[in-house]
Chains A and B, each alone.
Chain A
Amino acid sequence: MKILLADDDRVLTHLLSTQLRAKGAEVTVAQDAMQALMTAMRSPPDVIVLDIQMPGGTGIEALRKLKRSVRTSSIPVVVLSGSVEPDVSGAVKALGAVEFLLKPVDPEVLYEVLCGILPPKARAG
């Protein structure tokens, strides 16, 4: 399972990447939206875990760009957010996200979500 994890919170990325790697996943971390986009274009992962509230509000724009590009549009995107705004889940799903998780994120819950999204072949890889 190749995961691109995009979040500016280093505590969360260390927590999630450590726990997901322990389960056999290959995790690449991006600390901002631009880095996430470039990494996804250069080396498309099986799934992208994207914080939509990175500095500058660039996460939503990154989601739009990922879904517009032929190179990345088919990659499932799981959105993370600590937003207190209502119906963020509906808004990001309308933009193409397959799942929405409210922070703080439990690594076990995220892993279960990723396993539910990805086909068995990608899970094993």
Chain B
Amino acid sequence: MHFVAMLAFHLHARRQMHTVTNRAELLKRFAEHPELLGELAAIFLEDAPGRLAAVQAGVEQRDPAALQSAAHALRGSAANFGAKRVVEAALRLELMGGGCDLTGADEALADMMVVLEKLATELRALAGAKSP
């Protein structure tokens, strides 16, 4: 039994390492209004493709101001869910735009897309579970 509990703890810790949101923390934060979390997740999922497209356009067109603005918007929206890895990835692009130095922007964009997709997957699960 002790071994099973240890294994469960280990698996939970490993899962947390690979997630971009803290599901338990989010559910606790919205414990009094669980339907609100689903609504917020649904709104994020609706807006995320447009926000990502704006970031991609900023990188592809090598437009620092557009990149800074688009990455800032995406960062702010992700921050509402405490998605630190997405926030950090978006901030990296935002700072590149702000500094007018887009060296490494393609790689930074690719990195951000990976964690953004993870966030979308996790929010889809939350939205599906919590939507009315």
Contact = CB atoms under 8 A, between A and B. Distances in A.
Interface stretch (B17-25, B39-47, B100-108, B110-118): B39-47
B76 A9 contact: yes
Interface residues of A, number: 18
A104 B79 contact: yes
For the residues of A in contact with B, the DSSP-based class is helix
A70 B72 CA distance: 33
Given A18-B33, A84-B95, A12 B80 contact: yes
Interface of A: 8-12, 14-15, 18-19, 22, 53, 55-57, 82, 84, 103-104
14 contacts: A8-B73, A9-B77, A11-B40, A11-B77, A11-B81, A12-B80, A14-B40, A15-B40, A18-B39, A53-B72, A56-B69, A82-B72, A82-B79, A84-B94
Given A15-B40, A57-B69, A103-B76, 11 more contacts: A9-B77, A9-B80, A11-B44, A11-B77, A14-B36, A14-B39, A14-B40, A18-B39, A19-B36, A55-B69, A104-B82
